[in-house]
Structure 1
Amino acid sequence: MYLLLTTKEWLGGLRTYALPAVLLSLLLLLGIAFAGTHSRSAQVKKNRLAANAHFRQQWEQLKTGDPHSAAHFGTYIFKPVMLLSNFDSGLEPVTGTSMRIEAHVQHSMAAPALRPVDIYTRFGGLTIASILQLFFPLFIIFGCYDSYTQEKTSGTLGLLLIQGASQNIILKSKARYYLTAVNIILLISLLIYMPALLFSGTSSTDNTTLISILCLTVAYSIYCSIFVLLAIVVSAIAKNGRQSLLILTGCWLVWNILIPRLGAGIAAELHPLPSQYQQQEKIEKAIKMGINGHSPKEERQQQLIDATLKQYHVERTDQLPINLNAILLQASEDYAQMVYDIYNAKTDSIISIQNRYNNYLALADPYLAIRHLSMALCGTGYIQQQQLDNAARQYRNDFIRRLNNELAYGGSKTDDSHWKVNAAFYQSIPPFHYQTPALSQVLKSQWVMIASLLLWLIISICLLQIIAQYAGIE
């Protein structure tokens, strides 16, 4: 009986051209998204590679012999283009991708300027991920909303029951058919566009990327299956197709539109982030007067001078075998770095609290779960951006420290204006390299999102089982 009913569903779907229409519509949307993101990504990578090579060459050919002057000249570092950012751009459109490195100033990652259209765009950029997260569920809803009600309105339900088919068998055969059809459509779409991503030439492919793609496929399959099962459940209990469609589109609006924006608004209202101006003002005050407010910069410098004179057993600074000015400069940098780290930690703690609201809401909203999990697997989520910021800031601190230490201990003495550093020294400073977090770390950070998808899949299966066995739906 299962085989007969499933065959009936397949023949009905092919006869009405429903499956080909959904497949072609999805492929068209994905093609538009892929063309735009791939073209933009190729141009972005080309620009970043060219800029990175230019600034590196500029640095290695630096003519100044004073390392601290070179620190003021500085350089730029850039975030590498992630291969799967073509699939899901995540936070990249709003977070930084480059950083200016120079002495005495702690720059943040520079974010791209907002375009005027971004004010009115509420769904973000059109990517393959956004199509699968937002619009594919709508295709599923429009394809499944009358999966059971049409049997009642067309009169075929009574015929099926007379011939020995129970409501349990009917619903489960429909679930089997629609789950198979939707997942086949998803796999066809991914098999067409994923190889285009892998062999696009924008980045090399490794085992981690392939495993990430496999995890993405499984995650989106679960996400789409949730909508299929819930659509069949609603169709089974609704009085007619219109009521079923209204309920399902209402669920889509709540999950995909209202809850994400409501959650972000509540989190920002209850735990607001300080403005950049306020943050910078506090940092500058802490550097000048000390973190506790009672250790001015001049006092700290005098303590360091006295300690250095005592260390080298001399009475005057001109008797030192090292460059005291460079030591003072690096001490000032170290203190500023400590202040920045303290205030950045406070900001990160606020963001972590805000993210907890998303974690809680994700348990009630599979869209939030798939969105965060997709960004994380594509290397464009919050955990990757946080590690990029930390890596860039650490590189900046080490970069300035190398220059100041070379001035302090490389042969220069205090007030010696004739000492020059070897030009090869600038070439010896390694370029910036960003190591993405391991996949195991990413998955561990997303356990709530994974649990949410699995929870809703289990709930959907249980609801279908309950409706099929106990509800009077004939």
Structure 2
Amino acid sequence: MSATRLIARDELRLMVRNRVAVIAFTLLVLLTLVAVLSSWSHQRSNADLRARHQHEAEHAFDAQPDRHPHRVVHYGHFIFRPLGPLAAFDPGVDAFTGSSMFLEGHRQNTANFGDVRQSSLLVRFGQLTPAFVLQVVAPLLLIFLGYGALARETERGTMRLLMLQGAARGQVIRGKLLALGAVALLAGLPAMIGFVAIAGQPGALVMPMTVIALGYAAYLALWAVLIVLVSALVRRSRDALLALVALWAVAVVLLPRVAPDVASAAVPLQNRLQTDVAIARDLRQMGDSHNPDDPHFAAFKQSVLKRYGVTRIEDLPLNYKGLVGMEGERLTSELFDRYAGRSYAAQNTQNGIVEAVGVLSPAIALRSLSMAAAGTDFAGHRRFLEQAEAYRYALVQRLNRMQAEAVSYADDVAEDPGADRRKRVSAASWEKMPDFTYRAPSGTALAAGALPGLAIVVAWLVVAGLLLARASRRLGESR
């Protein structure tokens, strides 16, 4: 048996003799299994709940009686964001952004009913998911198991004995890494088994699954290298433990918490009230369709009359009120899109700042990688909002066109007792309205979004490996 394997076997034997280490490892495995089962169950129940509510919302919309189309515009419609199978592994921002939207005319709403807003404040400290266990808990376990891998040998004076017996510096380093890598593999194995089971559901994509697996493997390998590196640089095990715990606290706990606050301070966002006030102010300046003297709609009226070659709106082949509704919805939607675009740009800048901090924290880079590949990051939430807005606009304009074509202008402005009945449209029209269908991104798009995070984690691993190779040259020397 080679010296590398002998050293690795001896290191593993020492770990097994440490009852605290064995108990900690067992607890990590149990915690991972609980995280996999609870996260998978939560994802399934959420997916079923959203599908059921979506079906009920569609049934309620289709079951409306005969109505004026504009009343249906204000009746509105609920839609729910579906969850992908990888959301059970890493739910990302889903708990904070909300899962449903109410769509109505003349207004662009935001998503509601996020888990954090409906649950205990403890949810804000992080959900128990396989991703959370691997990102936060697994590195800490590796630290407590491997902090003395080389420092212990130096402290006890056994490092020189190993070399006198013919073990090269590289063999000692590789043996310690092999032992700690085996522990990292065993620690991550339950989560990866759960990941494979989760990803085996219908709709799972191979490319993002592969990127996630590579990312977490590189992350755990990075911590194994960092632990051996720090243990090689210090003379005492206690110093190695303190340095590694400090590194973990900064890289895994502090920076991921501070980075979003720094980004928010650097690029502040308007709150909902400020945005609503600004939109209301701009709407007053754009034009009022109910004011016959409004410059914009007066010009719009003349353009419509000229287009159809008539002099009175009563002579138009279409209901002028429906045409005004279409024009008003076009103007307000353009305004909403401008404000949404500004908000998206600001949030992208904030995310860019956080990802830049990821250069200093592999945990941030891994989290970005994990959410992007699972489709639960901000880009995934924005994708849902944009598709929802496109559906809302098409639905409202379809109803406005129905008013223009199926309801006469004379009936629309009439006030006699029978006018209300004459301006209603058959209930069968609502069933013909298309349902909302979320278009999920391709596996290639999800994997591409995760590549920057993967590149940072791999870069960390390469740099740590080079530093360890350099530190190994002085291994065993008196200091």
TM-score, structure 2 normalization: 0.90
Between the aligned partners of 1:356 and 1:198, the Cα distance in structure 2 is 29
Unpaired segments ≥5 residues, structure 1: none
Pair 1:302–1:23, CA change in 2 (3 A): same
Pair 1:116–1:107, CA change in 2 (3 A): closer
Structure 1 position 160, deviation (Å): 1.1
Between the aligned partners of 2:215 and 2:332, the Cα distance in structure 1 is 44
Asked whether the equivalents of residues 90 and 129 of structure 2 are also in contact (C-alpha less than 8 Å), the reply is yes
TM-score, structure 1 normalization: 0.91
Between the aligned partners of 1:57 and 1:117, the Cα distance in structure 2 is 29
3-state SS of 1:77 partner: strand
Post-superposition Cα deviations, 1:104-150, rounded to whole Å, max 9, x if no partner, equal 22211114364597545653212111111111110011111011122
For 1:345, the aligned partner's letter is: G
Match of 2:271 in 1: 275
Query: How many residue pairs get matched?
Result: 465
Match of 1:341 in 2: 337
* Pair 1:458 & 2:450 matched: no
Question: Among the aligned pairs, what percent are the same residue?
Answer: 25
- Aligned counterpart for 1:35 among listed residues 28, 34, 37: 37
Structure 1 position 22, deviation (Å): 5.0
Match of 2:302 in 1: 306
Asked whether the equivalents of residues 236 and 473 of structure 1 are also in contact (C-alpha less than 8 Å), the reply is no
Post-superposition Cα deviations, 1:356-386, rounded to whole Å, max 9, x if no partner, equal 2112111111000001111111121111011
Match of 1:197 in 2: 198
Unpaired segments ≥5 residues, structure 2: 413-418
Structure 1 position 215, deviation (Å): 1.9
Deviates more, 1:415-424 or 1:463-472: 415-424
Between the aligned partners of 2:217 and 2:293, the Cα distance in structure 1 is 59
Deviates more, 1:382-391 or 1:36-45: 36-45
Structure 1 position 190, deviation (Å): 1.5
Match of 2:448 in 1: 444
Deviates more, 1:310-319 or 1:130-139: 310-319
Aligned-residue CA RMSD (Å): 2.4
- Aligned counterpart for 2:220 among listed residues 212, 220, 224: 224
- Aligned counterpart for 1:44 among listed residues 43, 46, 49: 46
For 2:202, the aligned partner's letter is: S
* Pair 1:424 & 2:428 matched: yes
Between the aligned partners of 1:465 and 1:449, the Cα distance in structure 2 is 25
For 1:165, the aligned partner's letter is: A
Between the aligned partners of 2:233 and 2:84, the Cα distance in structure 1 is 45
Pair 1:306–1:367, CA change in 2 (3 A): same
Pair 1:173–1:61, CA change in 2 (3 A): same
Structure 1 position 102, deviation (Å): 1.6
Post-superposition Cα deviations, 1:44-98, rounded to whole Å, max 9, x if no partner, equal 2232122111111111122123221111112100001221211111101110211
Between the aligned partners of 1:275 and 1:186, the Cα distance in structure 2 is 41
Asked whether the equivalents of residues 153 and 159 of structure 2 are also in contact (C-alpha less than 8 Å), the reply is yes
3-state SS of 1:94 partner: helix
Match of 1:359 in 2: 355
Structure 1 position 195, deviation (Å): 4.5
Post-superposition Cα deviations, 1:332-351, rounded to whole Å, max 9, x if no partner, equal 11100000111111111111
Between the aligned partners of 1:57 and 1:179, the Cα distance in structure 2 is 55
* Pair 1:101 & 2:103 matched: yes
3-state SS of 2:408 partner: coil
Structure 1 position 18, deviation (Å): 7.6
Match of 1:400 in 2: 396
For 2:249, the aligned partner's letter is: L
Between the aligned partners of 1:258 and 1:233, the Cα distance in structure 2 is 22
Structure 1 position 389, deviation (Å): 0.7
Pair 1:414–1:156, CA change in 2 (3 A): farther
Asked whether the equivalents of residues 289 and 297 of structure 1 are also in contact (C-alpha less than 8 Å), the reply is no
Between the aligned partners of 1:18 and 1:415, the Cα distance in structure 2 is 83
Match of 2:231 in 1: 235
Deviates more, 1:252-261 or 1:111-120: 111-120
Match of 1:285 in 2: 281
Asked whether the equivalents of residues 25 and 141 of structure 2 are also in contact (C-alpha less than 8 Å), the reply is no
Match of 2:69 in 1: 67
- Aligned counterpart for 1:350 among listed residues 346, 365, 386: 346
- Aligned counterpart for 1:369 among listed residues 341, 365, 371: 365
Match of 1:253 in 2: 249
Match of 2:129 in 1: 127
